[in-house]
Structure 1
Amino acid sequence: MEYRDWYILQTLYQEQNITKTAESLYLSQPALTKRLRQIEKEFGVQIVQRGSRGVHFTPQGEYLAKCADEMLLRLRNIKEHVLNMGDEVNGTLRLGVSNYFARYKLPMILKKFKEAYPNVEYKVMTGWSKDVYKSVYNQDVHVGFVRGSYNWSDQKHLLFEESVYVVSIEPIHLDDLPSLPRIDYETDPMLRALVDDWWTERFSQPPLIGMEVDKADTCSEMVANGLGYAILPRGVLNGKDDLHMIELTTAEGVPIKRSTWMFYHADSMDLQMVKAFVRFMEQGEIAFID
């Protein structure tokens, strides 16, 4: 089996569709089908069955698809370790980054790190923190930046904490919130749970959702135009100091904080580029980026 064959099996298992797989791999459908038949001939088993809704993997095919993940990870690790056996810091650093961190923090971090280590390249995966967490766990990325309190048993470093605020264009009283229109937005489950817990601890009725938007940035702009109040983390509010802000606290008056962590596996520190990046972050470069 060649490297590309394992990659074909992995991609086909993810897509469950010949056409989509061919497009993803920049192959023609006949070429992809021919390669699958050669793989089946090599192992002497049928790997997939075609159906009206795509392909279905046989038990043997399921097993080979799982082996593909293991083989590709192993081959990637071998390549990375060979490239990092010397003292020079180079290679491709794979990062998993939450959407907020990718927009507001990562560009300047990579700029500063690139100045120190010009031979390092980057592959960045962005998404919700729960997806980043999964990508670090599965070793799809070397380092992950997640927001929220996730259970992580390997190496981690707290980067910073931020408060969460009730934000409005005019001063409001917290007791009036249930009767005021709230602008809601799509966010990760951790922040959603944090806000919901605060709300249920304080109020017996649900919030009055007057508008729903896709992102926190959009939400803050709606608030700035007087369309309602919102509950937002401090980082989204940079440059909007003219808004009225009330910090969320527990019933005992303790400020509610949202943490941002750096997660990674201990064995990934064998790679010079990962070690350099982790040390760079631990030295507090993030503190210079507001």
Structure 2
Amino acid sequence: MILSHLKTFVRIIDAGSLTRAAEQLSLTQPAVTKQLAALEESFQTRLVIRQGRRLRLTPSGEVLYHYAKRILALVDQTYEAIAEIERPGQGEIDLGAVSTIAVFSLPKVLAIFTRNFPSLRVRVHIGEIQDTLDKVIRQDVAVGLVTVPIVHPQVDSVPLFQDPVRLVVSPEKAKKLPRELDLEELSHMEFISYQTPSRFRAFMDGVLEQHGIIPHVLMEFNSHDLVKSMVKVGLGVAFVPESVVAEDLANGSLETIRVKNLPPLARTTSLILAKDPPRSGGLMALLTTFFDHYQVEPRLWPPWYWETRAYEAALPWNPHQKESKERKP
């Protein structure tokens, strides 16, 4: 009964009204109202305040909403874990990622994963770094992919690869420039840049400022494709992650230029997950795919990973059956 009431409570808040929640749950509005009243009676406090047609959570309601979502997510994961034993190799797993990784790096890994585990589905949720971190902490997603290392007491962070930062120009513009710029020449360039307050823009502005360069930003965009498009037609230069322009550099539509006395720059793409996540074959298969693809050193894997592998080996379906049996910690 309490699970049903919690589900109704979360749906009321997400829907924004009792009426919409009742429609979505295929219940009558009096039934929804009764369940809300039962929760308030159980916790001996008001959970929701009605302001005209709008609903506002009380401080106690905020707490219950937070925990109710976690409880319901854990219940779903419990069903999935048991179903996985009954239906080996099947199920769904949620993954969060920032847009750069989702567009330019994730497809290759997911192609390998779906080829090896065709009965497992991955649902990808795209968001900013903080949003992805929050989803991992709440366990709304099992795995998060971000463009920086994360240090957080509730999260394990595993570095996957270094993504170098390149200064790119159009082929026509490259012909008029030396193959290696000095810092003074760079300071006179017109930049196509990412909009503030993006983390990449803040990172690059900080690096350039340390070297006495205040970039002359001609245009700002919040899209990788728009930044590249403006550079390709010769409107300026741009610092971009290599993963974003790998194909453009390969086909010659963009070229890179080195800068004297500017140290090599790179961002660390990292995989994050809760310190002690619900362990399923699907999660282990996904982690194994990432670790194998990026050749992550075993010493960097989460501490519980090997303990869980021993458990998984006893299941009817072993999520590691596709990997080399020679890999050891």
Settle same-fold status: TM greater than 0.5: yes
Q: Which amino acid aligns with 1:40?
A: A
Cα deviation for residue 48 of structure 1 reads 2.0
Q: For residue 14 of structure 1, report the CA deviation from its aligned partner.
A: 5.1
Aligned match of 2:168: 167
User: By how many angstroms is 1:190 displaced?
Assistant: 3.5
Query: Per the alignment, in what secondary structure is the counterpart of residue 220 of structure 1?
Result: helix
Unmatched 5+ stretches in structure 1: none
**1:107 is aligned with what amino acid?**
P
Q: Distance in 2 between matches of 1:222 and 1:33?
A: 57
How far does residue 264 in structure 1 lie from its aligned partner after superposition? 2.1
Residue correspondence of structure 1 range 1-290 to structure 2 within 5 A = 1=1, 3=3, 5-13=5-13, 17-18=16-17, 22=20, 26=24, 31-32=28-29, 34-41=31-38, 43-44=40-41, 46-52=46-52, 54-85=54-85, 88-152=88-152, 154-169=155-170, 170-171=173-174, 172=177, 173=181, 174-186=183-195, 189-203=198-212, 206-241=214-249, 242=252, 243-247=254-258, 254-265=263-274, 267-268=276-277, 270-284=279-293
CA-CA distance at 1:146 after TM superposition: 1.0
Aligned residue identity for 1:279? T
The normalised TM-score by structure 1 is 0.82
1:218-270 CA distance string (max 9 Å, x none): 10111001111111111111232333423578x6x541111111122353373
Please give the alpha-carbon distance, in whole angstroms, between the structure 2 residues aligned to 1:232 and 1:34: 55
- Mapped partners of 2:195, 2:22: distance in 1: 29
Distance 1:42 1:94, change over 3 A: closer
CA drift of 1:40 comes to 0.8
Q: Distance in 2 between matches of 1:67 and 1:269?
A: 16
Q: 1:286 to 1:185 in 2, by over 3 A?
A: farther
Does the aligned pair in 1 maintain the 2:8–2:35 contact within 8 Å?
no
Cα distance 1:23–1:191, how it changes in 2: closer, same or farther (>3 A)? farther
Pair 1:134–1:247, CA change in 2 (3 A): farther
1:284 Cα offset (Å): 2.0
Q: Percent of pairs identical after alignment?
A: 23
Preserved contact between residue 166 and residue 240 of structure 2 (Cα < 8 Å): yes
How many residues align? The count is 281
Alpha-carbon distance between aligned partners in 2 of 1:9 and 1:26, rounded to the nearest angstrom: 12
Aligned equivalents of 2:77 and 2:127: distance in 1?
Answer: 24
Task: Compare 174-183 and 88-97 and name the one that shifted more.
Answer: 174-183
> Structure 1's 157 and 86: CA in aligned 2 closer, same or farther, altered over 3 A?
farther
Moved more, 155-164 or 184-193: 184-193
1:166 shift after superposition? 2.0
Q: Give the secondary structure class of the aligned counterpart of 2:73.
A: helix
Tell me: CA distance 1:266–1:247, structure 2 relative to 1, closer, same or farther (3 Å).
farther
Partner Cα distance (1:24, 1:95) in 2: 30
Name the CA shift for 1:130/1:25 in 2 (closer, same or farther; >3 Å): farther
Q: Distance in 2 between matches of 1:177 and 1:266?
A: 44
- Aligned-residue Cα RMSD (Å) equals 3.2
TM-score (norm 2): 0.73
Q: How far apart, in 2, do the equivalents of 1:42 and 1:231 lie? A: 54
Q: 1:41 to 1:284 in 2, by over 3 A?
A: closer
Distance 1:25 1:247 in 2: 60
**Residue pair 2:8, 2:21 contacting (<8 A) in 1 also:** no
How has the CA–CA distance of structure 1 residues 25 and 246 changed in structure 2, closer, same or farther, with 3 Å as cutoff? farther
